[in-house]
Amino acid sequence: MFDPGGEPENFLTPLHVESAIFFETPEGIFRRVHRILRPRTPLPLIEVAWKRFANADSHVRMENGAIEVRITDLLEGAPAPVIEALAYILLGKLYRKPIAPQFNHRYRLYLNRREMRRRITHARQTRGRKVHSGPSGKFHNLEEVFEELNMAHFGGMMARPAIGWSRVRSRTRLGHFDPSHNTIIISRIFDDVRVPRLALEYVMFHEMLHLHYPVDHSGARRCVHTPDFKAHEKLFPRLKEAKEMLRKLP
């Protein structure tokens, strides 16, 4: 039927076209994005599934010509534009294509919402676990190092979190603080007689600062090393010498 005073039935106005994407299934969104990224490539089978990951992680892989997408269930119910942004990110990585900044921004902005941060933290606490080897090493006890630095730099007022050595001698991740499990992990590479104690103390001090200064969230921005963090770190004695030691680890 055609209404002379209006529009044909089933006629999609620009507003209708724009809003139509909000009713796409996740599979439909990934198929559409795939056509945009690979317009001359036959569309492969794309399977999307929600998974109870212990973090806000999502993965993609191609196997036997089909694409498998595994999305954290924390994003179930997320607005279609967020899933669209994730599709561009995952498929872009799969095909090694540059990802437009607006998609990274849109995705980070959603994850950085207070409610999402709360849900992610809860998932980490309830689904994940922190694996370490305890504070006692062959040459150093991490709890003793923590308490010495606590007295020297924090007036002994910092509550001690769980502390442990990493399971492997990592040179790329020398230490990290996990706020979800209130745990400081130090690379076992420092439990070595050849490594100066000053290097270990500096890495522990750095992670203690992460405990002392929470991450600053603003919009899509996530600032781990805030100005206060950096200013406090500069107070560490022999800072330049300690950083030089890290570059010469055995």
Strands 175-178 and 183-186: antiparallel
- Per-domain residue ranges for the chain? 14-127, 142-246
Q: What are the contacts of 111-116 at 24+ separation with CB within 8 A?
A: 111/56, 112/217, 112/219, 112/220, 112/221, 112/222, 114/217, 116/56, 116/74
Whole-prediction pTM value?
Answer: 0.61
| Calpha distance 121→127 (Å, rounded) | 10
pLDDT higher than 70, residue 191: yes
pLDDT of the residue at 17: 43
**Res. 197 pLDDT band, cuts 50 70 90:** very high
Architecture of the domain whose range is 142-246? 2-Layer Sandwich (3.30)
- Please state the rounded mean pLDDT for residues 193-204: 96
Instruction: Name which of 8-17, 87-96, 108-117, 207-216 the model is least confident about.
Output: 8-17
Contact 188, 165 (CB under 8 A): yes
CATH fold match for the domains 14-127 and 142-246: yes
Query: Each residue of 199-246: pLDDT tens digit?
Result: 999 999 999 999 999 888 777 677 889 999 999 999 999 999 999 999
pLDDT of the residue at 20: 52
Q: What is the mean pLDDT of the chain?
A: 88
DSSP type of residue 141:
B
Task: Indicate the CATH number for domain 14-127.
Answer: 3.30.2010
Query: Each residue of 37-62: pLDDT tens digit?
Result: 999 999 999 999 999 998 899 999 99
In the block, tokens 């090694």 appear at 96
What is the strand order of the sheet 46-51 is part of?
A: 46-51, 66-72, 58-63
Query: Each residue of 124-154: pLDDT tens digit?
Result: 888 877 677 789 999 999 999 999 999 999 9
Q: Which of 211, 215, 209 is nearest to 239 (CA)?
A: 209
Greater confidence (48 vs 171) lies with 48
- Please state the rounded mean pLDDT for residues 9-14: 43
Contact 55, 120 (CB under 8 A): yes
- Please state the rounded mean pLDDT for residues 155-163: 93
CB proximity list for 183: less than 8 A, separation 6 or greater: 130, 132, 161, 162, 163, 164, 177
pLDDT of the residue at 22: 57
pLDDT of the residue at 16: 46
Query: Each residue of 69-105: pLDDT tens digit?
Result: 999 999 999 999 999 999 999 999 999 999 999 999 9
- Please state the rounded mean pLDDT for residues 169-187: 91
